[in-house]
Structure 1
Amino acid sequence: MDHPLVTQIERTGYPNMIDQPAHAGIDFFGDEILDGDEFVEYDGELVLVDNLNRYLAEEMGFEFKTA
């Protein structure tokens, strides 16, 4: 005789133990934008703030330098 929890897991699968944040879209580079993420919108494109330097360098031609 199996334990009731084992029977339930076999029947329904493992429960999702972590609440997943709500998905709010995909940024220019294909990264998920989740609730609470900061992003910018430029010309209809969404870019996560974490990807902003990459976007500016690769797509806009900005050069980042240190004095």
Structure 2
Amino acid sequence: MEHPAIMQTMRTGYPEIDYLEHERYRNANYKAEDYPVEDYFGSEIQAGDKYIMTDSGHVVLEENIRDYLQETLGAVFYEAK
């Protein structure tokens, strides 16, 4: 017995879908009305600033994400030469 989805893919090929399109649309069009005043490092969040909210409830400005990853996860950043 053949699976219908496999048979369709064999006939028509893989779909031309950008799987991140929904995420890009949501991020570009979602404006938080009530946003936090400060992030994890105490930086003030202004209207129009992009920030990340973690599962643990930490708020981090996009420009501070590298510092946050280093401090909380012990991340080490490298540059290829």
The TM tier, using the shorter chain, reads: 0.5 to 0.7
Deviations 1:9-61 (A, max 9, x none): xxxxxxxxxxxxxx841100001011100000011010000000000011111
Give the number of aligned pairs.
45
Note if 1:61 corresponds to 2:65: no
Which has the larger share of strand? 1
The correspondence for 1:52, drawn from 65, 70, 76, is 65
Please state which structure has a larger fraction of its residues in helix.
Answer: 2
Q: Give ranges in structure 1 of 5+ residues lacking alignment.
A: 1-22
Detail structure 1 runs of 4+ shifted over 4 Å in the superposition.
none
**Unaligned stretches of 5+ in structure 2?**
1-34
CA RMSD of aligned residues (A): 1.4
Percent of residue pairs bearing the same amino acid type: 38
TM-score (norm 2): 0.52
Q: Is the 8 A contact 1:24 1:34 kept in 2?
A: no
